[in-house]
Structure 1
Amino acid sequence: MSFAFGSAVEPASFGSSKPETGSLFGRATTSGTNSISSLAIAAATSPHLGTKSARKTEKATIPQISPLDFIPLLENQWRNMDWSEEAKETLMESVRSFKPASESVTEARVLLIGPVGAGKSSFISSVQSVFSGRVINRAMVGSSSSTSFTKKLRSFRIRGAGEKADEPTALVMCDVMGVGEGETTGLTLHDALSVIKGHAPEGHQFSPEQPVGADTVGYVRKPSITDKVHCVVFVVDASKVASYPKSFGTTFQQLREHISNLGVHQVALLTHVDQVCKSTGSDITQVYRSQNVQQAMVKAGALLGMATSYIVPVKNYSSELDLDENIDVLLLKAVDHILQYVNLYFQDNSD
Structure 2
Amino acid sequence: MEPFTFANPSVSSSTSSSFCFGTPTPPTLLPPNQSNNTPTQSADNVGLLETPWRQVDWSEEAREALMKSVLSHKPTCESVSEGRVLLLGPIGAGKSSFISSVQSVYSGRVINWAMVGSASNSSFTKKLQGFKIHASENQDQKTGLVLCDVMGLGDEETAGLTLYDILAVTKGHAPDRHMFSPDQPVRSETPGYVKKPALKDRIHCVAFVVDASKILSYSKAMSTTLQQLRQHFHDLGVHQVALLTHVDEVCMQTALDASQVYHSKAVQQAMARASSLLGMPPSYIMPVKNYSKDLELDGHTSTLLLKAVDHILQYVDLYFKDNKEPVYM
TM-score w.r.t. structure 1 length? Answer: 0.84
Q: Which moved more, 1:265-274 or 1:315-324?
A: 315-324
Residue pair 1:237, 1:271 contacting (<8 A) in 2 also: yes
Cα distance in 1 for partners of 2:223, 2:146 equals 27
What SS is found at the alignment partner of 1:268?
Answer: strand
Out of 246, 252, 260, the residue aligned to residue 234 of structure 2 is 260
Q: 1:14 is matched by which residue type in structure 2?
A: T
Q: Deviations over 1:43-75 (max 9, x none)?
A: x9xxxxxxxxxxxxxxxxxxxxxx981222111
Unmatched tracts of structure 1, length 5 or more: 20-27, 35-43, 45-66
Residues 66-81 of structure 1 mapped to structure 2, 5 A cutoff = 69-81=44-56
Q: Is 1:243 matched with 2:254?
A: no
User: Size of the alignment, in residue pairs?
Assistant: 310
Q: 2:181 is matched by which residue type in structure 1?
A: S
Deviation at 1:144, TM superposition (A): 1.2
Q: Is 1:272 matched with 2:246?
A: yes
Cα distance in 1 for partners of 2:7, 2:164 equals 9
The residue that corresponds to 2:178 in the other structure is 204
Cα distance in 2 for partners of 1:211, 1:290 equals 43
Deviation at 1:305, TM superposition (A): 0.6
Q: Deviations over 1:197-247 (max 9, x none)?
A: 000011111111111111111111110001001000000000001111110
Residue pair 2:24, 2:281 contacting (<8 A) in 1 also: no
Q: Is 1:320 matched with 2:294?
A: yes
What SS is found at the alignment partner of 1:79?
Answer: coil
Q: Deviations over 1:8-56 (max 9, x none)?
A: 6337342569x9xxxxxxxx9576269xxxxxxxxx9xxxxxxxxxxxx
The residue that corresponds to 1:223 in the other structure is 197
Residue pair 1:102, 1:346 contacting (<8 A) in 2 also: yes
Q: Deviations over 1:147-177 (max 9, x none)?
A: 1000000111100244x44412211110000
The structure number with the bigger radius of gyration is 1
What SS is found at the alignment partner of 1:226?
Answer: helix
The residue that corresponds to 1:24 in the other structure is none
The residue that corresponds to 1:138 in the other structure is 113
What SS is found at the alignment partner of 2:221?
Answer: helix
Deviation at 1:178, TM superposition (A): 0.4
Residue pair 1:83, 1:329 contacting (<8 A) in 2 also: yes
Cα distance in 2 for partners of 1:313, 1:267 equals 11
Task: Work out the percentage of aligned pairs sharing the same amino acid.
Answer: 59
Out of 164, 170, 175, the residue aligned to residue 149 of structure 2 is 175
Residues 70-149 of structure 1 mapped to structure 2, 5 A cutoff = 70-149=45-124
Q: 2:172 is matched by which residue type in structure 1?
A: G
Residue pair 2:123, 2:152 contacting (<8 A) in 1 also: yes
Displacement over 6 Å in runs of 4+:
none
Q: 1:73 is matched by which residue type in structure 2?
A: L
Q: Is 1:14 matched with 2:25?
A: yes
Cα distance in 1 for partners of 2:299, 2:35 equals 32
Cα distance in 2 for partners of 1:202, 1:174 equals 9
Change (3 A) 1:348 1:33: closer
Change (3 A) 1:332 1:30: closer
Cα distance in 1 for partners of 2:124, 2:207 equals 19
CA RMSD of aligned residues (A): 2.2
